[in-house]
Structure 1
Amino acid sequence: MEIFTHAETWLALLTLTFFEVVLGIDNIIFISIVSNKLPIEHRARTRNIGLLLAMGVRILLLLTITWVMKFTEPLFFVPHWISEHGFMSGKDIILIFGGLFLIAKSTREINHEMEGEDDLDTENTGKKANVTNVIVQIILLDVIFSFDSILTAVGLTKEIFIMIIAVVLSIGIMMIFSGRISEFIHKHPSMEVLALGFLILIGFMIFLEGLGKDIPKGYIYFAVVFSMMIEMVNIRARTKRKKAKEEFHE
């Protein structure tokens, strides 16, 4: 506990927690979208279970940080036109398949949204299967995104204990806000489609990162935030027009 008497410790903790939350924004959006496919009484519980299990996985990865860092070592060599590194590591393979999974899943959800398909099951067994499926997806996606957060954490501090506290705090923040984000996305289908488009973009970025391409994430996140702000203005404008029409007919 002596480390908490140093200002550098608190600065590292706050910085790490901030980065964990920022890097988890796309994770929260994904969780909100997939949990909205469940019956309303299962959504909050499923989100919390998925996030808690994901937190456990992330802490386990931090505790085995030496083993995780080996994932960046070459497994086999490939031509430079395939990967700019000239080799494939365990991390690269996970990012490639993770990016493809995110692209495929988001594309499928957009198709469901456009076609008006309903994923909710009326059978109790169907609900249980859906809940399990959503939790597994949350954990898998968190493992994919964990590599960025872990490598960022290692660059900011060498104290595993500080990293774990930052993970717990960030997951707690996600649990607090995921319900509100989920409700907002469910209420506004246009925002859901925009968010899914954002996840496709993130998936493509992860895929390219697995191929050794250095994609500045700041530009992508800025474009996404700007697009969402414009859509929120559109939602507010549509709400005002709808309210004005209702008052006119009255």
Structure 2
Amino acid sequence: MADLLTFENFTNLVMLIFLQAVLGFDNLLYISIESQRAPVAQQRAVRFWGIIIAVALRVVLLFIVVSLIDRLSEPLFTLAWDGILTGAVNFATLIYLIGGVFIIHTAVKEIGHMLSVEHLEADVANKDGKSAASVIALIVMMNLIFSFDSILSAIAITDVFVILAIAIVASGIAMLVLADTVTVFLQKNRMFEVLGLFILLIVGVVLLGESGQAAAHAMHDPTLALHVFGHEIVPMSKSTFYFSVVVLVAVEVIQSGYSRKLAAERAARNH
């Protein structure tokens, strides 16, 4: 126990909690949006149990990854279709690919759903389209996919399991505290739900980009990177991603404020 109570471990814990908070933003956004697909009376319970189960499984996933990190790094197979598709594929590559495709599919589907709804009342009536259990299952599954990136990043900081587990539990508590607030905000400001879906779309693209370098980074061999039609798949940097998010949010805020100003001016003229 005394070995854990060191300044280095404390510093690593603070860094990990901050890292989990930053990387957990898109996860919380997904939970808030997806939970609204459940029956209205069960949405809060869906968010609560979805996060609780996901955090518990994330700790289990952490233990598995820490135990098998070297085996998970090894390429499962190598693609050698010259000029079309080349590079190595490991476990992380598959996780990023599946997660990226699923998130893009979800975002595009929900954006299409919004465009097809003629009245807000019809949209609300369709909220009961998914069962609570199915929504919880989706939240848990996507939480694990999101967590894979954060777990690998966390392991780069420290390999002390207790410190890693505490950081994950702390991030889970933060999501429990903020989930209802974020969901209520999105419900009252529907334009930001559209913004959230476009951010999720970017997250899906980021995950697809991460898949291209997963095996190369794990094995420290740039020749293992995936290439499509001769072009290397390069991931979007975290700074670029968050800059894009900030720009999208700023545009939405400015546009919303300008729209309210125009509406007020029109109302003043009519009087």
TM-score range, shorter chain: 0.7 to 0.9
Map 1:1-250 onto structure 2 (within 5 A).
1-64=1-64, 65-79=66-80, 86-116=87-117, 118=123, 119-121=126-128, 130-212=131-213, 213-215=233-235, 216-239=237-260, 242=263
Residue 238 to residue 69, structure 1, CA distance change in 2 (3 Å): farther
RMSD: 2.3
- Which whole-Å deviations, capped at 9, do the CAs of 1:17-75 have from their partners, x for residues lacking one? 11111111111111111112233321221111101111011100112222255222110
Shift of 1:13: 0.7
Q: Hey, what's the Cα distance between the residues in 2 that align with 1:237 and 1:244?
A: 11
Whose RCO is larger (CA < 8 A, sep 6+)?
1
The answer to whether the 8 A contact 1:32-1:178 is kept is yes
Q: Hey, what's the Cα distance between the residues in 1 that align with 2:95 and 2:17?
A: 24
User: Where does structure 1 differ by over 3 angstroms across 4 or more consecutive aligned residues?
Assistant: 80-84, 236-250
Residue 69 to residue 186, structure 1, CA distance change in 2 (3 Å): farther
Q: Hey, what's the Cα distance between the residues in 2 that align with 1:238 and 1:40?
A: 30
The answer to whether the 8 A contact 2:212-2:234 is kept is no
Q: Hey, what's the Cα distance between the residues in 2 that align with 1:221 and 1:134?
A: 27
Q: Hey, what's the Cα distance between the residues in 2 that align with 1:148 and 1:184?
A: 27
Q: Hey, what's the Cα distance between the residues in 2 that align with 1:3 and 1:36?
A: 45
Q: Hey, what's the Cα distance between the residues in 2 that align with 1:146 and 1:83?
A: 28
Q: Hey, what's the Cα distance between the residues in 2 that align with 1:120 and 1:136?
A: 17
Q: Hey, what's the Cα distance between the residues in 2 that align with 1:238 and 1:39?
A: 32
Q: Hey, what's the Cα distance between the residues in 1 that align with 2:148 and 2:53?
A: 16
Identical amino acids, percent of aligned pairs:
30
TM-score after normalising by structure 1: 0.87
TM-score after normalising by structure 2: 0.81
The answer to whether the 8 A contact 1:83-1:211 is kept is no
The answer to whether the 8 A contact 1:61-1:68 is kept is no
Unaligned runs of 5+ in 2: 214-232
Shift of 1:189: 2.1
Unaligned runs of 5+ in 1: none
Shift of 1:107: 0.4
The one-letter amino acid paired with 1:186 is: Q
SS, match of residue 5 in structure 1? coil
The one-letter amino acid paired with 2:127 is: L
SS, match of residue 184 in structure 1? helix
Shift of 1:156: 0.9
Shift of 1:240: 5.4
Paired residues, number: 243
Shift of 1:14: 1.0
The one-letter amino acid paired with 1:140 is: M
Shift of 1:155: 1.1
Shift of 1:93: 1.1
